Amino acid sequence: MLNYGDLVFLWSPRKGDSFLLKLSKGAVQGSRLGQLRHDDFVGHDYGDVVRSHSGEAFALLRPTLGEYTRRIKRNTQIVFPKEAGFVLMHLNIGPGSRVVECGTGSGGLTCVFAHFVGDEGHVYTYDRRQEFSELAMRNAERWGVADRISFKVRSLDEGFDERDVDAVFLDLPTPWDYIDKAREALAPGNRIAILVPTFNQIERTLDALRDNHFADPQVLEILLRYLKTDPRRIRPEDMMVGHTGYLIFASKSQEGLYDGVEQRRSRRGEDGAELEETPEA
Amino acid sequence: MLNYGDLVFLWSPRKGDSFLLKLSKGAVQGSRLGQLRHDDFVGHDYGDVVRSHSGEAFALLRPTLGEYTRRIKRNTQIVFPKEAGFVLMHLNIGPGSRVVECGTGSGGLTCVFAHFVGDEGHVYTYDRRQEFSELAMRNAERWGVADRISFKVRSLDEGFDERDVDAVFLDLPTPWDYIDKAREALAPGNRIAILVPTFNQIERTLDALRDNHFADPQVLEILLRYLKTDPRRIRPEDMMVGHTGYLIFASKSQEGLYDGVEQRRSRRGEDGAELEETPEA
Amino acid sequence: MLNYGDLVFLWSPRKGDSFLLKLSKGAVQGSRLGQLRHDDFVGHDYGDVVRSHSGEAFALLRPTLGEYTRRIKRNTQIVFPKEAGFVLMHLNIGPGSRVVECGTGSGGLTCVFAHFVGDEGHVYTYDRRQEFSELAMRNAERWGVADRISFKVRSLDEGFDERDVDAVFLDLPTPWDYIDKAREALAPGNRIAILVPTFNQIERTLDALRDNHFADPQVLEILLRYLKTDPRRIRPEDMMVGHTGYLIFASKSQEGLYDGVEQRRSRRGEDGAELEETPEA
Amino acid sequence: MLNYGDLVFLWSPRKGDSFLLKLSKGAVQGSRLGQLRHDDFVGHDYGDVVRSHSGEAFALLRPTLGEYTRRIKRNTQIVFPKEAGFVLMHLNIGPGSRVVECGTGSGGLTCVFAHFVGDEGHVYTYDRRQEFSELAMRNAERWGVADRISFKVRSLDEGFDERDVDAVFLDLPTPWDYIDKAREALAPGNRIAILVPTFNQIERTLDALRDNHFADPQVLEILLRYLKTDPRRIRPEDMMVGHTGYLIFASKSQEGLYDGVEQRRSRRGEDGAELEETPEA
């Protein structure tokens, strides 16, 4: 039976409008389908059909982690569920894992990590901006996973405090400057993931990964396309998100890995960006 | 220190060739870069640089769940990491969850669920084909999560044995025939995910979800594009996977949800497929 | 030297704002970068840098056909340049061709066909809605190709008047009802293109094409992704068009083509939508 | 009635196999559906159903320009129909146009331009490699448009011979070195298109376009996804082409266009690639 403090997800069959709320005594959520009064939902159970003050039906649902992170209170760009889920699969993360992350941002991915490492695991997240750390902490408390997270407010210049962690995630403007710090923290053979928004950042990140003896680099992007749900007129939505970022993965290995393997770095001229001759035309 | 029975992932910096092996006494893996003798790897640690019999370097890495499921022994189409990760985010799954699945197939997604529900959670997976169940069990043992899984070899015609589960996943040719069974198993307010390969299957599944009072239906597809990793010539790979399947999600609600909400089903004529007038032209 | 009646394309280097105008005596285009007075542009040449009344620079450019059709005055969904260009390549169209089209809609694709068939070619376009035909005619006059087009205001129920044409294009809600009419008009061995917005329409169109002895059916969709143009931060635009429509192509052949070739039509049951057993799971 | 020298496109309804042939006396094309003897097709008409020597039916169709360029004899990467069609729409090309191109490559796009400029137009194509020029000429003769093309075998270092052309297309490893030459050839207000395969090339090309007073830069990529054509199992093909290249467009304007408009070039440090502070994290 739902009570104050519980998270609920409300969805209207008429308009598809939806709201993710934490039930608070006396609180009211406005909507074009009538006022949603939190007090009316207390005592109900997940799955119930409830009504707005003007009588419109809503399904009262249990929020998913994906829905929660998509709607998280934020003052940064967030890591979206499509990337978060893929990262979960490709880092060595599971119940009991120790994960480090920088930067914290709004804490969406921090919550995801904390959700899946469980009570035996722990997440260490770094951000030099106090206000982000505080926002992320509130977001983690709301999802009920704050006690699995250490929030550290400082830059990465001195590196991470942790060693032998299961996974590292970097979401920074210049990740190439911190690959060595990530290397110090990560247990050998484990995997790092890095998110960058632009092409330009991929080049330098790949160079830094190789310089730091990381193996099996992969770069990828994920596109998500929703379809309209009218069964008689199935078609993709007219607009879709065209870009959130590029994910880069690699695994910590040792010096010597690339010995004798052709260095694919071009001969940069004095202007700093000399491309190699390309064979296409 | 690695020993027989451990899983390792080998990656060559020269060719990018890679192998996921379970170390077995005396076993040898052939490769175009020379024989990989399992005995040579015992006593090493994850992260080490090791060599094939002909002297080629390989990074000896810890396999990720994503890499494992991508390479799983299979005799069916598998659920790929990009979909598996998204499903994790959008079902109510985490350490401690109880999940039901049908069909088991090669057990890739079964392993993913079992990995993330941890020792306190459990996965119940159904398939009427004995040989699939056995293959999936071997795959789960290999990843070390078999004790978190109940394999049931029977059709879904009698429904699931479980009740009040946190999440249901269906991967069946005719999911619309089993939405009512899924409903019986699922706790109210929780979410189902369904994978179908064709457009044609989406229509009937959406109808069945509505008929069974499921709320918040979503249909989507995920596209994954890898990029080449030469830092001086960054570009997407020439070929990519164009399709794996459509994911359909919905949440269990109650009778009455759609009362008075226009049934979007068209007036089908006698030939069975009359489309409504479309406004495009 | 530009004069009244000429089409110009204005682009601002500061904001990227752009306008496609037909120069008219005394006309003024408002903009957030100041008024654009048509009279100021007369006497200039394409390529010149001109100024708004408040002094903002604009490049005065020659409009392309792509830009023109993207901005055409419309009261329907239009065929976008990405599809129009692909259709040009895959129908037997070029200078001198005779093309038939139904429906005319806002005339965007009609203009494209008329542009490329040149003075020796001709386009016959059908629409039962008088107001569309008139709008399309004005759009064609604006681009200067109206004299290469015959606008016919009637339904296709009696079929096309033309025979032995080089190409047919259909953009109709129920194209399957008119495949036989298209067949009558098209010269043997030539190709038809059909645009449909939904999955559901693809199925019946493919059936009708086969029933009418069309060969080499192809179905496809085209996705276009723009990138931001800041050279130091190259990345795709955040949002992109996720769907405009599916293009279906096929070539007119003869009775007997499919004799003995397994009819891939399923055994439909009485409810009209029985799927064949699918082998996936 | 078809005769020797005619181009035909053969398509099998059983397997979907297809062949694009120029009918030659005595020639035989092998296939897994039996020998295709050219002599058997002479005297037939486009659209006919013909047979291989072993009795398999083929539709005898008129080849489209798209199909022709997709199958062109090549020793380079080609410009694909999806890009060619888009370029047609966004350059000032039509019957009567004068177009310059560098490099010629295998001549696929050269044929496309020559096809659409008609007898009144002309294409000037440059390549420093004799063997490419010859191959392209043979490809153009095969499509019947060689007399509309001037093939020039030399590098672009001295620039183009032509002036005031309607459109320029560049497909070169270092297009930024030739933007000034393109500018000399292009009529003011007209548009250039450039194809590059890698991200790295986009940055320098955009810089060169701005330095040469080109307006309205656009960068984009086009993705084409084919669907399977079994009407009862409609779904995208399993594999698709993930990348062919990036198209860059811009229009020739004048000096002064960017005066006072913030130069979006970052403050590069001595290492040549200093990124601006990015606001993401």
Q: What integer is the mean pLDDT of B20-34?
A: 97
Inter-chain residue contact D281 with A105, CB threshold 8 Å:
yes
B48, two tokens = 């080490």
* CB C148, CB C97: distance < 8 Å: no
Q: How far is A212 from chain D (nearest CA, A)?
A: 19
Q: Compute the distance between CA of residue A179 and CA of residue C96 in angstroms, rounded to an integer.
A: 62
Inter-chain residue contact D62 with C92, CB threshold 8 Å:
yes
Our measurement of the distance from residue B172's CA atom to the centroid of its chain's CA atoms, rounded to an integer in Å, reads 13
Enumerate residues 6+ apart whose C-beta is below 8 A from B134: none
- Kindly report the backbone phi and psi dihedral angles of residue B170, in degrees, each rounded to the nearest multiple of 5, phi listed first: -120, 130
Compare CB distances from A265 to B89, B117, B231 and report the shortest one's residue: B231
Compare CB distances from A243 to C200, C238, C242 and report the shortest one's residue: C238
B81 CB neighbours in chain A (<8 A) are 86, 89-90
B228, two tokens = 């080449």
Q: Any idea which residue has 């659209």 for tokens?
A: D47
Beta carbons within 10 angstroms of residue A255's beta carbon: 9
Compare CB distances from A89 to B13, B65, B253 and report the shortest one's residue: B65
Helices B81-90, A81-90: inter-axial angle, 10-degree rounding? 120
Can you spell out the DSSP letters for A75-100?
A: SS----HHHHHHHHHHTT-STT-EEE
pLDDT value of position C275: 34
A263: pLDDT confidence band, cut at 50, 70 and 90? low
C78: pLDDT confidence band, cut at 50, 70 and 90? confident
pLDDT in tens, B184-210: 999 999 999 999 999 999 999 999 999
Q: Any idea which residue has 């010149």 for tokens?
A: C48
Same domain assignment for residues D223 and D114: yes
Average confidence score pLDDT of chain A: 92
Q: What integer is the mean pLDDT of A246-261?
A: 96
Q: Is the pLDDT of residue C273 over 50?
A: no
Looking at residue D39, which CATH number applies to its domain? 3.10.330.20
Same domain assignment for residues A133 and A159: yes
Beta carbons within 10 angstroms of residue A233's beta carbon: 19
Q: Is the pLDDT of residue B101 over 80?
A: yes
A76: pLDDT confidence band, cut at 50, 70 and 90? confident
Beta carbons within 10 angstroms of residue D173's beta carbon: 17
Inter-chain residue contact D281 with A204, CB threshold 8 Å:
no
Tell me, yes or no, whether C35 lies in a domain: yes
* CB C8, CB C60: distance < 8 Å: yes
Instruction: Number of A to C CB contacts under 8 A, please give it.
Output: 56
Show which of A17, A44, A63 is a domain's final residue.
A63
Which DSSP state fits B31? -
Inter-chain residue contact B272 with C273, CB threshold 8 Å:
yes
Tell me, yes or no, whether B279 lies in a domain: no
Average confidence score pLDDT of chain D: 92
Q: What integer is the mean pLDDT of D49-61?
A: 97
Q: How far is B274 from chain D (nearest CA, A)?
A: 16
Compare CB distances from B240 to D198, D232, D240 and report the shortest one's residue: D240
Q: What integer is the mean pLDDT of A232-261?
A: 95
Compare CB distances from C231 to D69, D90, D203 and report the shortest one's residue: D203
Q: Is the pLDDT of residue A11 over 90?
A: yes
Q: Compute the distance between CA of residue A63 and CA of residue A19 in angstroms, rounded to an integer.
A: 10
Tell me, yes or no, whether C129 lies in a domain: yes
pLDDT in tens, A227-237: 999 999 999 99
Q: Which residues of B are annotated as a binding site for S-adenosyl-L-methionine?
A: 106-109, 127, 171
Tell me, yes or no, whether B268 lies in a domain: no
Q: Compute the distance between CA of residue A153 and CA of residue A151 in angstroms, rounded to an integer.
A: 7
Inter-chain residue contact A268 with D268, CB threshold 8 Å:
no
pLDDT value of position B18: 97
Our measurement of the distance from residue A141's CA atom to the centroid of its chain's CA atoms, rounded to an integer in Å, reads 17
pLDDT value of position B263: 61
Count the alpha carbons within 13 Å of C88 in the hemisphere toward its beta carbon.
Answer: 35
pLDDT value of position C222: 97
pLDDT value of position B266: 42
Smallest CA–CA distance from A243 into chain C, residue: C238
Q: What phi-psi label fits residue B196: left (phi over 0), alpha (psi between -120 and 50 degrees) or beta?
A: beta
Same domain assignment for residues D54 and D128: no
Q: Which of B217, B216, B222 is nearest to B245 (CA)?
A: B222
pLDDT value of position C264: 55
A122 CB neighbours in chain B (<8 A) are none
Q: Is the pLDDT of residue A209 over 70?
A: yes
Which DSSP state fits D204? H
Count the alpha carbons within 13 Å of A244 in the hemisphere toward its beta carbon.
Answer: 23
Q: Any idea which residue has 């596109």 for tokens?
A: A223
Same domain assignment for residues B58 and B70: no
**Residue from C227, C228, C235 whose CB has the most chain A CBs within 10 Å, to mutate:** C235
Looking at residue C186, which CATH number applies to its domain? 3.40.50.150
Q: Is the pLDDT of residue D278 over 80?
A: no
A45: pLDDT confidence band, cut at 50, 70 and 90? very high
Q: Compute the distance between CA of residue A5 and CA of residue A23 in angstroms, rounded to an integer.
A: 5
Compare CB distances from B200 to C76, C197, C275 and report the shortest one's residue: C275
Q: Is the pLDDT of residue A272 over 80?
A: no
Tell me, yes or no, whether B264 lies in a domain: no
Same domain assignment for residues B159 and B172: yes
What ranges in chain B are assigned the alpha helix state H? 38-41, 65-70, 81-90, 108-117, 130-143, 179-185, 199-211
Smallest CA–CA distance from C50 into chain D, residue: D257
Same domain assignment for residues A103 and A239: yes
Which residues constitute the domain of residue D157? 66-252
Q: Is the pLDDT of residue D267 over 70?
A: no
A264: pLDDT confidence band, cut at 50, 70 and 90? low
Q: Compute the distance between CA of residue C135 and CA of residue C129 in angstroms, rounded to an integer.
A: 10
Same domain assignment for residues B89 and B146: yes
pLDDT in tens, C135-187: 999 999 999 999 999 999 999 999 999 999 999 999 999 999 999 999 999 99
Q: How far is A154 from chain B (nearest CA, A)?
A: 29
> In chain A, what is the straight-line distance between the N-terminal and C-terminal CA atoms, in Å?
68
* CB C247, CB C195: distance < 8 Å: yes
* CB C8, CB C63: distance < 8 Å: yes
Percent above pLDDT 90 for chain A: 90
User: Length of chain C, please?
Assistant: 281
pLDDT value of position B169: 98
Q: Which residues of A are annotated as a binding site for S-adenosyl-L-methionine?
A: 106-109, 127, 171
Which DSSP state fits C76? S
Element (H, E) at A10: strand A7-11
Inter-chain residue contact C273 with B203, CB threshold 8 Å:
yes
B272 CB neighbours in chain C (<8 A) are 268, 270-273
Q: Compute the distance between CA of residue C239 and CA of residue B149 in angstroms, rounded to an integer.
A: 41
Measured CB to CB, residues of chain D less than 8 Å from chain A are: 76-77, 103, 105, 171-174, 197-204, 268, 270-273, 275, 277-281
Beta carbons within 10 angstroms of residue B269's beta carbon: 10
Tell me, yes or no, whether A273 lies in a domain: no
Query: How many independent structural domains does chain A possess?
Result: 2
Q: Is the pLDDT of residue A273 over 90?
A: no
* CB A134, CB A198: distance < 8 Å: no
C266 CB neighbours in chain D (<8 A) are 232
Inter-chain residue contact B280 with C200, CB threshold 8 Å:
no
Residue-wise burial string across B180-191, b where 16 or more C-beta atoms lie within 10 A, e elsewhere: ebbbebbbbbbb
Question: Which residue type occupies B29?
Answer: Q
pLDDT in tens, C52-73: 999 999 999 999 999 999 999 8
Smallest CA–CA distance from C232 into chain A, residue: A200
Q: Which residues of D are annotated as a binding site for S-adenosyl-L-methionine?
A: 106-109, 127, 171
Higher confidence at residue C276 or residue B14?
A: B14
Q: How far is B156 from chain A (nearest CA, A)?
A: 24
Same domain assignment for residues C19 and C145: no
Q: How far is A28 from chain D (nearest CA, A)?
A: 33
Q: How far is C62 from chain D (nearest CA, A)?
A: 5
pLDDT value of position C277: 34
Higher confidence at residue D216 or residue B271?
A: D216
pLDDT value of position B191: 98
Compare CB distances from C272 to B273, B277, B278 and report the shortest one's residue: B273
Higher confidence at residue B179 or residue C264?
A: B179
Beta carbons within 10 angstroms of residue A21's beta carbon: 17
Tell me, yes or no, whether D26 lies in a domain: yes
Q: How far is A56 from chain B (nearest CA, A)?
A: 10
D182, two tokens = 């393109």
Inter-chain residue contact B118 with A256, CB threshold 8 Å:
no
User: Which is it for strands A98-102 and D186-196: parallel, antiparallel or unpaired?
Assistant: unpaired
D274: pLDDT confidence band, cut at 50, 70 and 90? very low
Inter-chain residue contact A197 with D171, CB threshold 8 Å:
no
Same domain assignment for residues C137 and C190: yes
Beta carbons within 10 angstroms of residue B192's beta carbon: 25
Subunits next to B (3 or more Cβ pairs <8 Å) are A, C, D
Smallest CA–CA distance from D223 into chain B, residue: B242
Smallest CA–CA distance from A233 into chain C, residue: C198
Inter-chain residue contact B69 with A92, CB threshold 8 Å:
no
Which DSSP state fits A236? B
User: Length of chain B, please?
Assistant: 281
C203 burial level (CB within 10 Å; 0-12, 13-18, 19+): buried
Q: What integer is the mean pLDDT of D65-88?
A: 93
Average confidence score pLDDT of chain C: 92
Compare CB distances from A265 to B60, B232, B265 and report the shortest one's residue: B232
Q: What is the dihedral of CA A97, A103, A106, A109, to 10 degrees?
A: -30
Q: Which of A197, A218, A195 is nearest to A206 (CA)?
A: A218
Same domain assignment for residues A57 and A74: no
Q: Which of C186, C171, C172 is nearest to C93 (CA)?
A: C186
What ranges in chain D are assigned the alpha helix state H? 38-41, 65-70, 81-90, 108-117, 130-143, 179-185, 199-211
pLDDT in tens, C200-210: 999 999 999 99
Q: Any idea which residue has 């795709």 for tokens?
A: C236
D63, two tokens = 């080849």
Q: What integer is the mean pLDDT of B173-183?
A: 98
Which DSSP state fits A247? E
* CB D45, CB D87: distance < 8 Å: no
Q: Compute the distance between CA of residue D71 and CA of residue A154 in angstroms, rounded to an integer.
A: 59
Compare CB distances from A272 to D173, D268, D281 and report the shortest one's residue: D268
Q: Is the pLDDT of residue A15 over 90?
A: no
Q: What integer is the mean pLDDT of C197-202?
A: 95
Instruction: Number of A to B CB contacts under 8 A, please give it.
Output: 288
Smallest CA–CA distance from D273 into chain A, residue: A272
Which DSSP state fits B240? E
* CB B278, CB C197: distance < 8 Å: yes
D199 CB neighbours in chain B (<8 A) are 234-235
Percent above pLDDT 70 for chain B: 93
pLDDT in tens, A95-115: 999 999 999 999 999 999 999
Q: Any idea which residue has 């006022």 for tokens?
A: A35
Give the ipTM: 0.93
Same domain assignment for residues D75 and D177: yes
Smallest CA–CA distance from B263 into chain A, residue: A230
pLDDT value of position B64: 98
pLDDT value of position C269: 33
D75: pLDDT confidence band, cut at 50, 70 and 90? confident
* CB A245, CB A83: distance < 8 Å: yes
A253 CB neighbours in chain B (<8 A) are 47-49, 59-61
List Cα–Cα distances, C252 to B89, C181, D11, D30, in angstroms: 49, 12, 12, 25
D268 CB neighbours in chain A (<8 A) are 272
Enumerate residues 6+ apart whose C-beta is below 8 A from D158: none
Compare CB distances from A273 to D76, D204, D279 and report the shortest one's residue: D204
pLDDT value of position D213: 98
pLDDT value of position B269: 32
Count the alpha carbons within 13 Å of A42 in the hemisphere toward its beta carbon.
Answer: 13
Tell me, yes or no, whether C2 lies in a domain: no
D273 CB neighbours in chain A (<8 A) are 200, 203-204, 272-273
pLDDT value of position A222: 97
Same domain assignment for residues B216 and B137: yes
Mean pLDDT lowest for which of A215-219, B154-158, D77-81, D231-235? D77-81
Q: How far is B76 from chain A (nearest CA, A)?
A: 20
Q: Which of C206, A76, D216, A47 is nearest to B251 (CA)?
A: A47
Residue-wise burial string across B211-238, b where 16 or more C-beta atoms lie within 10 A, e elsewhere: ebbbbbbbbbbbbbbbbebbbbbbbbee
